[in-house]
Amino acid sequence: MLAGIVPKRLWSAQFAIRSIPGAIKVKPDLVFCSSDPLRETPLTWAQVISFMEVMSKPNDPNMSLNLARKAYTVFMAQPGHRFLMAISISAQVFRLHVYDCSGVIHSHGYNIHVHADMFSNLLYFFTFAQPKHLRYDPTLIYFDIVP
């Protein structure tokens, strides 16, 4: 990171071993969230833009269920979330998962080493895309509610 420049969004692994505070207790391996260096309150599911799950075993049957639980938690915490994109990596194969209120679409699996350019483009998109391309309905007005 360049000195003095604070990123607007970042990937964080701080909840890989403990759950994000909220009604549903789940632990994402990596969360993609809005960065706020002055935030004094802990991160909640309301700030999560996306998440990534990483497993060493290939074709783990729990992967889809784990991803769906986390997607459901994001939709519950953020009513204006139109859709959610999540990434899974299982035995060096990554997939993009797109959730909306109707269901989910999973991409084909791509080897992270053979298709490194595709994976880096995906991460670039998450980092620099406009909010309406990542999740939010641009016709709604959002307010931060401070307890």
- For residue 1, what pLDDT is reported? 46
- For residue 19, what pLDDT is reported? 86
Query: Dihedral of the CA atoms 125, 50, 59, 93 (nearest 10)?
Result: 20
Q: Residue 10: pLDDT above 90?
A: no
CA-based radius of gyration for the chain: 15
Phi, psi of 123 (to 5 degrees): -65, -40
Domain limits of the chain? 9-134
pLDDT digits (tens, 9 = 90+) for 93-118: 999 999 988 889 999 999 999 999 99
61 vs 146, higher pLDDT? 61
